[in-house]
């Protein structure tokens, strides 16, 4: 490494892997951490303070379902005391009026509510949880009443991408300030269901058109962030804005990861917050330095004009698809790995009827 | 946006001094914005009471600058922040 790494801006705290839903696209690892291994309230509070001292500004409380932690309110209090901008990423299940008001008093800054579909029929089938949609809509109303700024996080895939216009309308109806239209990324459990989730080419064209139109129409009213379906892109996404450059993830058991899927990369050594100060993990941890900067890159990326734009793309995707974490992301059209990705995409497209989901249970 | 509009920082958006990087930042949903001196000066006056015209008056006085030059800059700056969800507007 030539230049010293910058301090991190954001931390994703995966408070628990427990979740009442069973989404077929869950990006959490296929091996989940058990409840007994979860960090205590005190340890999390200490990690939040360390993160703030290190330069983290934004904290995302995530999971699994973070509301499955009975100490969620205390954790938010600790995060705000540490001076962090605190965002709750939730499905809404496990929140009620009393708890939301307590989170308000605790100083929670922002709520990001996930959306599995725009009708109960669709959402409950995808989430694998009957009655979930109704409860979510109730939670959304409460969020609005209390006044939390709301982002709707709509996870899109073959089965619901055609509902995109109605999804955007729903964001307006719920008074969301921002919508994140996130096409499923194939990590973790989502890989198992890739064929069922992969959108069709026509859907992707239409979705892009819908987004472009909505961005114009709703300028100043609704912020729209669009994560396009990876396999249909020509170049990879900028993974984590550069490995070990901007953010870090802490898993329920205290393992610190450069990205939440990084555990699938064999040979990476991960530190735990119980054993080592967060500062040392960030600056000196072997997993963080493994793909930091440009030294690790294959020649193709080293000499590419997009080197500092996409950083060679997603390491986990290179691992998952090519079995080589140091290869250029196979989404890249310049890379030899693209042929492998195209073959998968062609396979996915062959099935006219989407195959059945394998639920995460 | 127009000179009569009253800009405000909605709930969930706040200024913060980043003690590690020694810089003022604006924190909002999923977004962090590093503030330069001008940005900070504008946002310090964005109190939900003052209109863009009043903010521009104040800046012109404080920095002994041409008001005609300042106002379009203030509008452009706040317009950009509005599109990114950092600023809301109360119409006159
Ligand atoms: S390597 Fe980057 S893009 Fe890939 S899963 Fe991890 S964080 Fe996401
Ligand atoms: S060659 Fe590497 S840096 Fe260039 S676009 Fe492809 S993945 Fe990105």
Q: Does residue B16 fall inside a structural domain?
A: yes
Worst-scoring range by mean pLDDT, A23-37, A257-271, B27-41?
Answer: A23-37
Confidence of residue A1 (pLDDT cuts 50, 70, 90): very low
Nearest to A177 among B14, B29, B89 (CB): B29
Residue with tokens 């205590």: A40
- The contacts of residue A35 (CB under 8 Å, 6+ apart) are A16, A18
Residue B35 CA to residue A100 CA, distance in Å, equals 32
Q: Does residue B3 fall inside a structural domain?
A: no
- The contacts of residue B17 (CB under 8 Å, 6+ apart) are B23, B24, B25
Q: Does residue B92 fall inside a structural domain?
A: no
Range of the domain at B32: 10-84
| pLDDT(A198) > 80 | yes
Query: Which residues of chain A lie closer than 8 angstroms to B16, CB-CB?
Result: 57, 83, 85
Looking at residue B73, which CATH number applies to its domain?
1.10.10.1150
Q: pTM for this one?
A: 0.91
For residue range A86-111, list pLDDT tens digits in order: 999 999 988 999 999 999 999 999 99
- Locate the DSSP E strands across chain B: 6-8, 14-18, 23-28, 31-34, 88-90
- The contacts of residue A321 (CB under 8 Å, 6+ apart) are A330, A337, A340, A341, A344
Rounded average pLDDT over A191-214: 88
Percent of chain A, pLDDT > 70?
A: 93
Q: Does residue B44 fall inside a structural domain?
A: yes
| pLDDT of res. A253 | 94
| pLDDT(A355) > 60 | no
For residue range B54-70, list pLDDT tens digits in order: 999 999 999 988 999 99
Adjacency order of strands within the sheet including B23-28: B14-18, B23-28, B31-34
CB contact burial A60-99 (16+ within 10 A = b; e otherwise): bbbbbbbbbbeebbbbbbbbbebbbbbbbbbbbbbbeeeb
Q: Does residue B4 fall inside a structural domain?
A: no
Q: Cα(first)–Cα(last) distance of chain B, in Å?
A: 11
- Using the beta-carbon criterion (under 8 Å), do A219 and B83 form an inter-chain contact? yes
Rounded average pLDDT over B29-55: 94
| pLDDT(A54) > 70 | yes
User: Ligand 2, closest atom to CA A332?
Assistant: 6
| pLDDT of res. A360 | 61
For residue range A299-324, list pLDDT tens digits in order: 999 999 999 999 999 999 999 899 99
**Per-residue CA distances from A101 to A70, A105, A106, A153 (Å):** 15, 6, 9, 22
Q: Does residue B89 fall inside a structural domain?
A: no
State ipTM: 0.90
Which ligand places an atom closest to the C-alpha of A335?
2
A319: its two tokens: 């691992």
The structural domain count of chain B equals 1
Which ligand places an atom closest to the C-alpha of A325?
1
- Using the beta-carbon criterion (under 8 Å), do A151 and B29 form an inter-chain contact? yes
| pLDDT of res. A252 | 94
The one-character DSSP state at B7 is: E
Bridge partners for A10 per DSSP: A58, A247
Confidence of residue A129 (pLDDT cuts 50, 70, 90): confident
**Residue A178's closest CA among A156, A152, A154, A155?**
A152
Q: Does residue B49 fall inside a structural domain?
A: yes
The sign of the torsion formed by the CA atoms of A86, A99, A41, A17 equals: negative
Query: Which residues of chain B lie closer than 8 angstroms to A110, CB-CB?
Result: 12, 29-30
A71: its two tokens: 């100490």
Bridge partners for A272 per DSSP: A255
Confidence of residue A240 (pLDDT cuts 50, 70, 90): confident
The H-assigned helical ranges of A131-187 are: 132-146, 164-173
Give distance in angstroms: CA of A316 to centre of ligand 2.
Answer: 15
Q: Does residue B91 fall inside a structural domain?
A: no
């Amino acid at each position: 490494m030539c230049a010293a790494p910058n301090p991190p801006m954001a931390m994703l705290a995966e408070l628990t892997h427990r979740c009442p839903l069973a989404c077929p696209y869950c990006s959490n690892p296929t091996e989940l951490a058990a409840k007994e291994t979860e960090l205590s309230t005190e340890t999390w509070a200490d990690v939040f303070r360390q993160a703030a001292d290190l330069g983290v500004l934004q904290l995302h409380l995530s999971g699994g379902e973070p509301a499955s932690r009975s100490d969620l309110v205390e954790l938010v209090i600790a995060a705000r005391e540490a001076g962090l901008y605190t965002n709750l990423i939730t499905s809404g299940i496990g929140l009620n009026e009393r708890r939301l008001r307590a989170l308000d008093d605790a100083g929670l800054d922002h709520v990001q509510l996930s959306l599995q579909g725009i009708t109960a029929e669709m959402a409950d089938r995808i989430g694998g949880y009957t009655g979930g949609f109704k409860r979510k809509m109730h939670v959304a109303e409460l969020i609005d009443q209390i006044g939390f700024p709301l982002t709707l996080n709509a996870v899109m895939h073959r089965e619901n991408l055609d509902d995109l216009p109605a999804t955007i309308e729903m964001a307006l109806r719920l008074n969301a300030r921002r919508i994140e239209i996130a096409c499923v990324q194939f990590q973790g459990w989502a890989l198992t269901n890739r064929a069922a989730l992969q959108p069709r080419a026509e859907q992707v064209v239409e979705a892009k058109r819908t987004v472009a139109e909505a961005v114009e129409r709703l300028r100043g009213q609704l912020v729209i962030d669009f994560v396009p379906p990876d396999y249909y892109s020509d170049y990879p996404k900028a993974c984590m804005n550069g490995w070990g450059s901007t953010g870090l993830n802490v898993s329920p058991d205290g393992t610190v990861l450069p990205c939440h899927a990084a555990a699938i990369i064999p040979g990476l050594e991960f530190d735990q917050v119980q054993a080592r100060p967060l500062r040392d993990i960030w600056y000196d941890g072997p997993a963080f330095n493994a793909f930091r900067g440009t030294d690790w890159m294959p020649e193709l990326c080293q000499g590419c004009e997009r080197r500092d734009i996409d950083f060679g793309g997603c390491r986990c995707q290179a691992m998952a698809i090519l079995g080589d974490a140091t290869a250029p992301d196979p989404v890249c059209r310049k890379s030899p790995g693209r042929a492998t990705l195209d073959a998968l995409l062609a396979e996915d497209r062959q099935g006219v009827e989407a195959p059945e989901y394998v639920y995460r249970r | 946006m127009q000179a009569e509009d009253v800009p405000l920082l909605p709930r969930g958006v706040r200024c913060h001094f980043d003690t590690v990087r020694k810089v003022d930042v604006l924190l909002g949903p999923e977004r962090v914005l590093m503030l330069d001196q001008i940005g900070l000066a504008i946002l310090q006056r964005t109190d939900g009471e003052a209109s863009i015209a009043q903010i521009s008056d104040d800046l012109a006085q404080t920095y002994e600058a041409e008001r005609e030059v300042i106002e379009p800059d203030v509008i452009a700056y706040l317009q950009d922040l509005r599109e990114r969800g950092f600023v809301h507007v109360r119409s006159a």
